[in-house]
Structure 1
């Protein structure tokens, strides 16, 4: 599943905000999730997600003007792909919110 989240920020600001919001990534997933993140490069965040009894692998690519979230959904969750994609789009702005002070 591929979901693009448009934004108006420069790449450095996107990186800063994503890294500062990393601890709350699981809060943005419907039903909550355990999420472990790593940054294999400055423009990619990898995620290991435990949600709905499933273990998912995802990554977020930082592209000019958008974040692109790619999630490998197992067949057991493919029927809810539209719901998950919609939730990601609606919650995506929270990932890019300015850090709370």
Structure 2
């Protein structure tokens, strides 16, 4: 397994950041690089999820804080070679979700 972790700063506050992430994940379902969320559970400010990508199950976690969002995923061996690419995609998509509008 390869752990990919990204921290994205924001100035939205915890509630607005969580709202944007939830809304963005609903819109992205199935449309984000073939990624599908198969399970997601929010407990407080943390979402634990399982995603499907390229026929693989990818567990992860999103932690929403007052000034940042941390996204961590565990890539299986099959996808570990793509860790840097995945990190860049996660960071870019996360920043788009959290942009000030």
Q: TM-score, normalised by structure 1?
A: 0.81
Root-mean-square deviation (Å): 2.2
Q: State the partner residue of 1:23.
A: 26
Q: State the partner residue of 2:13.
A: 10
Poorly superposed stretches of 4+, deviation over 4 Å: none
Indicate if the aligned counterparts of 1:15 and 1:42 stay in contact, CA closer than 8 A: no
Q: Give the drift of 1:18.
A: 1.9
Q: State the partner residue of 2:74.
A: 72
Q: Give the drift of 1:76.
A: 1.3
Unaligned runs of 5+ in 1: none
Unaligned runs of 5+ in 2: none
Q: Give the drift of 1:97.
A: 5.4
Among 15, 25, 48, the alignment partner of 2:50 is 48
